[in-house]
């Protein structure tokens, strides 16, 4: 039994009374057509190469269940109002050790619980309890490939009314096979978005709040439709903040620079990892400071980081080459080192890898 990933589903509504209809999106998907009313149809374009196996399991409402049974009601508060927080985590299969390793789960769950505090949420699990749940879910399906995990805390009561208090909180988590988040991760072309990053006094970016990702979706869709791989988002003061959903680094004058946590960024786990690896293994000076828009255009190197994206080399911004216009030596070394670390090949960092 299978379900279609939303990211591989395109919905187009057409009025057949119009003389011309077309879709500018590039797709090789298979169309399924459903009538919505007189002369109106909804066409679902489904990528058959991206089916999700519903025979796998999830953690839902206090127990491990088949993914097909992990369903919320359409009146659930978290669905209606975006009152959920989540973390994106990865577990990596080591072909050498024939074992699966979760990467830095404690740090991910610490951030998830911090995000929950912002939305006045409480669940009966601490970091170690959540790690054990994760191990149980992964062992249930005996995963032997790289996977992505999505733990979520959400307002689980049903009904209408915008608030955070007097609502039941619940925890869920699913796992899916996962490879690349961005297909062009060695030669990405970015644009500076016209959208601004949400402010800490509006919806705090340091909390992974689901509703806030509408901001990221606006940024990402506009960039992709304009032909770019990704986008750079500025904060309300015009300083560089992040990618659509990734942290950003530049190399300038041999120094690795990234915006500080106070510039409306997510305090990324991969960001923290890259900063430590750059200092300890490459001997680089790493500086957290605000970055002007034009600084990135004259940087020697530019890259984005995130759990899903890992490390993405950016070689052009708005048609201007960054450095030589190719992935630079610092980015190249960090990508190779990061891959070794997450696959448990570097003993020094084994404390970051939790064996399943």
Point out the residues that are catalytic: 208
Of 203, 178, 131, 152, nearest to 353 (Cα)?
Answer: 131
Of 289, 232, 298, nearest to 256 (Cα)?
Answer: 289
How many whole angstroms separate alpha carbon 156 and alpha carbon 262?
31
Of 266, 246, 210, nearest to 80 (Cα)?
Answer: 210
Is there a contact between 143 and 91 (Cβ–Cβ < 8 Å)? yes
End-to-end CA distance of the chain: give it in Å, rounded: 26
How many whole angstroms separate alpha carbon 16 and alpha carbon 207?
44
Residues 40-50, buried b or exposed e (16+ Cβ, 10 A)?
Answer: eeebebbbeee
Residue 58 DSSP SS3: strand
Is there a contact between 147 and 177 (Cβ–Cβ < 8 Å)? yes
Angle at which helices 269-280 and 329-342 cross, to 10°:
110
Strand intervals (E) in 185-259: 188-196, 230-234, 240-243, 247-252, 255-258
User: Which spans in 32-173 are helix H?
Assistant: 77-81, 105-118, 127-141
Q: How many CB atoms lie within 10 A of CB 17?
A: 8
DSSP 160: S
User: Rg of the chain's alpha carbons, rounded to an integer?
Assistant: 21
């Amino acid at each position: 039994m299978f379900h279609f990933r939303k990211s591989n589903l395109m919905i187009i509504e057409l009025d057949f009374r119009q003389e011309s209809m077309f879709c500018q999106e590039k797709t090789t998907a298979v169309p399924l057509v459903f009538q919505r009313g007189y002369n109106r149809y909804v066409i679902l374009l489904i990528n058959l190469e991206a089916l999700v196996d519903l025979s796998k399991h999830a953690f839902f409402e206090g127990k491990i269940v088949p993914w097909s049974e992990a369903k919320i009601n359409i009146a659930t508060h978290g669905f209606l109002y975006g009152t959920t927080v989540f973390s994106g985590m990865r577990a990596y299969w080591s072909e050498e050790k024939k074992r699966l390793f979760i990467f830095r789960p404690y740090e991910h769950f610490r951030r998830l619980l911090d995000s929950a505090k912002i939305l006045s949420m409480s669940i009966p699990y601490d970091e170690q309890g959540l790690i054990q749940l994760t191990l149980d879910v992964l062992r249930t399906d005996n995963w032997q490939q790289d996977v992505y995990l999505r733990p979520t805390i959400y307002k689980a009561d049903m009904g209408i009314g915008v608030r955070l208090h007097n609502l039941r909180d619940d925890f869920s988590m699913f796992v899916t096979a996962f490879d690349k988040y961005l297909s062009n991760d060695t030669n990405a072309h970015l644009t500076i978005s016209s959208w601004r990053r949400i402010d800490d006094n509006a919806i705090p970016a340091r909390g992974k709040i689901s509703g806030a990702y509408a901001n990221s979706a606006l940024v990402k869709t506009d960039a992709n439709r304009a032909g770019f791989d990704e986008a750079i988002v500025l904060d309300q003061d015009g300083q560089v903040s992040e990618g659509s959903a990734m942290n950003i680094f530049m190399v300038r004058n041999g120094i690795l620079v990234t915006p500080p946590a106070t510039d409306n960024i997510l305090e990324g786990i991969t960001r923290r990892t890259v900063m430590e690896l750059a200092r300890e293994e490459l001997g680089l000076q790493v500086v957290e400071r605000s970055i002007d828009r034009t600084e990135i255009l004259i940087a020697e190197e530019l890259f984005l980081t995130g759990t899903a994206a890992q490390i993405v080399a950016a070689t052009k911004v708005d048609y201007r080459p960054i450095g030589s216009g190719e992935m630079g030596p610092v980015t190249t070394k960090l990508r190779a080192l990061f891959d070794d670390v997450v696959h448990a090949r570097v003993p020094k960092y084994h404390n970051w890898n939790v064996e399943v």
